[in-house]
Chain A
């Protein structure tokens, strides 16, 4: 950009800042309205969980309770037969944590194999698997159940922990990331006589930590929020994860006869992922950008 155009543009800019700036107010108004709308359900759910059923029915719509009560939560925790919410949350924690740890093991080892090792047909194999995995997975839904059933995994955590380990998406991301690591690093180690295992653990693994964290978080939340698959593979109320459990609640709490308990259960189910997000917010943002394959 030449100097003449710059000097020309300057007076215009100053004028603009002094002037009433409608676009900024427009942006703010829009953002505040949208955020408000986005918050209302959560706030309303929380406050309703602290109201008694009689208050909900008699007082009608109010944002805040007249009397704050915790009876709903006590009732929820006492109901361990038809709606064992703590058991469900624990099931979900076990499933999602185990799944995430195994995902990290599988994708780091496999990513190493496809990036740092040389063997015949390596890239052909990788891209063949990648291409197959693009096939819409609605097609393999029913046979997947049959396989899980054959393995005796229906109503066990393994039904949700293992099948997701086969996916190619995270391996693709790890591969992309590993390709950015200079070849000289492991080549010089190899010259010194280091084996693949040593190179993997000592050199590559510490360097790919960021992408593993990102994939791990995504796997955790994905597994935690999965709905269709757990609804299919779990029939035992005590064994199911929390997303599948909540589907039963509309019946358990008699279609809004116990609205406070219904809301309280939903709120309890939200807390674990929310906490995870608050601790790892920046990784989530990275994860989305990375998942999109777009550099920010």
Chain B
């Protein structure tokens, strides 16, 4: 008696095909490839845990050094940039939501627009800012620094452009959530004689806990994929001190020489696992704290 209805297949079917071909299949194949020797052209040859053994334990291998150097630099970037990407937008949002501040939308627009500029265009402009002879920074501060090719300046350029381009989204989220905090809370705190700082600490921060942790998770996961800024600003230098793991992965798999896609896949899986574990920990903290 039951009539089979085919229309759900029409509505969700096409996307499922896309999902299988462009997400599920490549994910499974990416994990499989990490256990193989593969040059991207021929058939992968199963080598078991060899790639992982090499990148994790074989100190004589260049891949070992690339992996640890790339991982170290990626972590360094995440550790410096993520706190700044949370704190700076938060301070701006608090300043913007100050009752007596006007031109809120003008300020917000100015600070949001860099996020719409592609990172390669932004990098060209910022390379000029940090140019040794012509740049704003050296001329304004009378500095002699050769930014892209000495440390810690190379990292400073990368972090500067990251923050410049990246704070807009988080800023708007914080603004919206601070705006949503009940004014009654502030009023009663005022009656108790709380100053601006106390109010921020005891009312604003706890009230926007959820968006704070949400942006923390998203920003962290995104930051682990860092690639464009070091490539454009420093080319990974000086002495590979800003070469992040994503750059090694791309070079190994897609450089002009022989592709070492199997090894690159092992590195990609390791990076993916790190992102997964750290996101999971952050989500756990978020759920535990969300009431």
Contacts and interface: CB of A to CB of B under 8 A. Distances in A.
Interface of A: 1, 5, 8-9, 12-13, 21, 23-24, 26-28, 30-31, 34-35, 38-42, 44-45, 48, 56-57, 60-61, 106, 109-110, 112-114, 117, 119, 122, 125, 129, 132-147, 162-163, 165-168, 171, 195-197, 200, 221, 224-225, 227-228, 231-232, 242-244, 246-247, 249-250, 256, 259, 262-263, 265-267, 269-270, 273-274, 276-277, 281, 284-285, 288-289, 291-296
Interface in B246-291: 246, 249-250, 253-254, 261, 264-265, 268-269, 271-272, 275-276, 279
B40 A24 contact: no
B125 A294 contact: no
Q: Which of B30, B112, B121 lies at the interface centre, i.e. has the most chain A CB atoms within 10 A of its CB?
A: B121
Q: Which of B11, B94, B228 lies at the interface centre, i.e. has the most chain A CB atoms within 10 A of its CB?
A: B11
Interface residues of B, number: 100
Q: Which of A113, A122, A197, A244 lies at the interface centre, i.e. has the most chain B CB atoms within 10 A of its CB?
A: A113
B interface, by DSSP: helix, strand, loop or mixed?
Answer: helix
Contacts of A140: 23, 26-27, 29-30
A109 B31 contact: no
Nearest to B259: A142
B118 A129 contact: no
Contacts, number: 287
Contacts of A119: 5, 8
B153 interface: no
A133 B114 CA distance: 28
Given A61-B135, A119-B5, A132-B27, A142 B214 contact: no
B246 A138 contact: yes
A44 B136 contact: yes
26 contacts: A8-B191, A23-B98, A40-B136, A41-B125, A45-B125, A60-B139, A135-B276, A138-B249, A139-B31, A139-B265, A141-B268, A142-B249, A142-B261, A146-B29, A195-B7, A228-B246, A247-B120, A247-B231, A250-B127, A270-B117, A281-B109, A288-B169, A288-B173, A289-B172, A289-B176, A292-B173
B68 interface: no
Given A243-B120, A247-B120, 16 more contacts: A5-B191, A40-B129, A41-B122, A41-B129, A44-B128, A61-B136, A132-B23, A138-B268, A139-B269, A140-B26, A140-B27, A143-B30, A225-B118, A232-B250, A243-B118, A273-B118
Nearest to A231: B250
Contacts of A106: 14-15, 18
B196 interface: yes
A42 B116 CA distance: 12
Given A61-B136, A246-B120, A292-B214, A166 B18 contact: yes
